[in-house]
Amino acid sequence: MPVKDYIRERFFPHMWCPGCGHGIVMNALIRAIEDLGLSKNEIVMVSGIGCSSRISGYLDFHTLHTLHGRALAFATGVKMGLPGLNIIVPMGDGDALAIGGNHFIHAARRNIEMTAIIMNNRIYGMTGGQYSPLSGYGTLATTAPYTNIDYDFDVVELSIAAGATFVARATTYHVQQMIDVLKKAILHEGFSVVEILSQCPTYFGRKNKMGSAVEMMAYYRDHTTPLGSKAKKENPDLIERGIFVQKERPEYCREYDKIIERAKTKGK
């Protein structure tokens, strides 16, 4: 199916800034869904608030644009009600891990089957460039003009510790890897987390003198490495990308079905 069949063309050109990584994530997500041959009718996309969350308006699936940080809570409701649907939850780093931090860790702990995409641009772009929990120590933001003293989360380690059964990282430069990882995450029977390093040239890039969108993507190219590579041993500062965890654990909705059965037999 052509790309245009997956989008709501009347809203294009979209509102993201020139060179915004979120557009590349949307592009890759369309390719992943196309490759998997999923019907638009079986996909529900639930998003919160922020630049990243606007993606649900642009894609022509069942979509819910909900409260800041609460996308996973709404998504849990949809999945519990209609477990046959495929749930995709695109979030920004602030939406997922600051405002929605609690929803995030508990969705991971429950292992409810859905795909959480964290589009990590290390800033709150929509509201003017405030630092987020992923900005990191020493970075500059509108609200950190003398540098940020907060350390950032490692999304991968956090997700693993919280119990996610599929955890991966990709970047907007490595778009083919991103498509591949998204496909595997969508097919995974459990809670999947995909962190995607996504450039914000307007705020994070400009504040931190990282240059244009092209230069920020070149940074991803030069400062990341495949998981377990030899380069990582030589240069521990490189950021690893790939699939960190992929394991089986009972899925929440299937466990809940068992509870319903148990209640039925006890009630008789």
Partner 1 sequence: MAKAKLKEHRIQTDWCKGCGICVAFCPKSVLELNAQDKVSVVRPQDCICCRLCELRCPDLAIEVVAEPEVSE
Interface with partner 1, residue 7, by CB under 8 A: yes
Q: Smallest distance, Å, CB 198 to partner 1?
A: 10
Q: Is the peptide bond before 13 cis (omega within 30 degrees of 0)?
A: yes
Task: Please report how close the Cβ of residue 241 comes to partner 1 at its closest, in angstroms.
Answer: 16
| Residues whose CB is less than 8 angstroms from the CB of residue 149 and which lie 6 or more positions away in sequence, other chains included | 137
Question: Quick check: 11 binds partner 1 (CB under 8 A)?
Answer: no
Strands 166-171 and 239-246: antiparallel
64 Cβ neighbours under 8 A, 6+ residues apart: 44, 45, 46, 47, 56, 71, 74, 75, 78
Site string for partner 1, 207-246 (x = CB under 8 A): -----xxx--xx----------------------------
114 binds partner 1 (CB under 8 A): no
Q: Number of residues interacting with partner 1: please give it, by CB under 8 A.
A: 31
The burial class, CB within 10 Å (0-12 / 13-18 / 19+), for 151 is: exposed
- 158-187: contacts with partner 1 (CB under 8 A): 172-173, 175-176, 179
16 binds partner 1 (CB under 8 A): yes
**Interface contacts to partner 1, rule CB under 8 A:** 3-4, 7, 12-14, 16-24, 26-28, 30-31, 172-173, 175-176, 179, 201, 212-214, 217-218
